[in-house]
Amino acid sequence: MRLTFFLSLLSLSFALPNTSRAAPDDVVISFWIKSFIPLSVAGVTKPYPKYKSLSMLPGIPIFGDCFLTDQRGFSSATGASSRMHSQAWVWVRSNGYDWSDEHHCGETTEVDCEDGDVEGKETQNNDNMKFKEKSGNSSKVVLELKAAANNPRVTGSPNIDIVGTLTLDRLNRFVEFNGKVDEFPAFEAYVSINGGKAQTIGQLGPKAGAGPSSLAGGANRAFKGTVTF
């Protein structure tokens, strides 16, 4: 089955490998991982004063006011609202491989905790978010991900951290992510293989009792999953 339809599946303007000459035994994947603040986190989020169907969460005491959440639960949509989004495309074939990646942060909206008035909006840069090639050949490609970003509205606020290794094994026919994330917020990862529907690599909500203050320090929760094909 040829993979020329793969490019049409993805509407985002990222730097995709050129798969127009993909052969039947080639494997092309799109992998994405996100951190997001759920609509409802027990003991952390509360209704947004202006629209009760929306939610917000207080920032770290003394630092900042309140901030809108991503207003959602888990979603495999590549465009779903998030704090951080990292995506990689890998094409492994009998005579080599290619890969590319893209990273971005969602807009942060600071609001007054009492009346909900918007106090500012800002988007963090992706300077500390990248995949790096660890190894690659015609049978297997391994990429390392290090991603970190903080609240751009609060100077010196701690980072959300994601670290891990993405492996595409063409011969043994699996895609795996093995990494770590913070205790807060929520994290999710998916993969599309040869243009197919999104399959779940992993989903992990906030640790019970964790909030923005829990971001101090590095990633400390295991986050991993495997999809076979």
Each domain of the chain, given as residue ranges in start order, spans 6-37+88-106+124-228
pLDDT at 20: 59
- pTM score: 0.91
**CB atoms inside a 10 Å sphere around CB 192:** 22
pLDDT of residue 61: 67
CA–CA separation, 177 and 164 (whole Å): 7
What is the pLDDT at residue 63?
59
pLDDT at 24: 80
Identify the pLDDT of residue 15.
Answer: 52
Question: Which residue stretches of the chain have pLDDT < 70?
Answer: 1-22, 61-64
DSSP conformational letter for 61: T
**pLDDT at residue number 23:** 80
Residue 190 contacts residue 181 (beta carbons within 8 Å): no
Query: Cα–Cα distance between 21 and 139 in angstroms, integer?
Result: 18
Is the torsion defined by CA of 165, 171, 172, 173 positive or negative?
positive
Q: Where are the alpha helices (DSSP H) in the chain?
A: 6-9
pLDDT tens figures, 64-104: 699 999 999 999 999 999 999 999 999 999 999 999 999 99
- HSE (side-chain half, CA atoms, 13 Å) at 201: 29
How far apart CA 192 and CA 187 sit, in angstroms, is 17
